[in-house]
Amino acid sequence: MESIITKHKAAAIKVSEMAEHLTGSEILKIGAEVNAKIRDGHKISNFTIGDFNPEIFPIPAELKADIIDAYQHNQTNYPPADGILSLRQAVSKFLKTTLALDYSASDEIIIAGGARPIIYSAYRALVDPGDYVLYPLPSWNNNHYVHQVGAHPIEI
């Protein structure tokens, strides 16, 4: 007879139905293949996953100086969830002067620390279970977002 501890351990490693059927990321697979070629000595600029080589694409000196200054002034905490107000205001001004688009920095512009949360939020807001989503391959984890919201993929 199985002990209660054995049954509990088995239950603890169970994951959701959604998580059991996740597949690997095609773009990360391609990125790993490119990185392996780079390690083997091939001369390649890897543009697959946004982790650009700082020797090829260095941080601009002005930005580096601002980063160091912010660090020296203990600006090391997380920014507000919707982004730093002065940056949202600069984006609002840019959109207005460059593209004649009028978006409020206070409630219509969000600055995120990466694309994943924003993409996932867009999927949650726009896609219902059972919907069909058309996306190109390879692409940035659209297969995961489609799966997580219970939609059907149409891969091109």
Class of residue 88 by CB neighbours under 10 A (exposed 0-12, middle 13-18, buried 19+): buried
More confident residue, 10 or 139: 139
From CA 67, how far away is CA 64, in angstroms rounded?
5
Check: pTM over 0.85? Answer yes or no. Answer: no
| Triad 124, 127, 128: Cα angle to 5° | 100
List 51's β-bridge partners, or say none: none
Q: How many residues does the chain have?
A: 156
Q: Is the peptide bond before 117 cis (omega within 30 degrees of 0)?
A: no
pLDDT in tens, 12-48: 678 888 788 877 777 788 888 988 999 999 988 777 7
- The enclosing H or E element of 66 equals helix 61-72
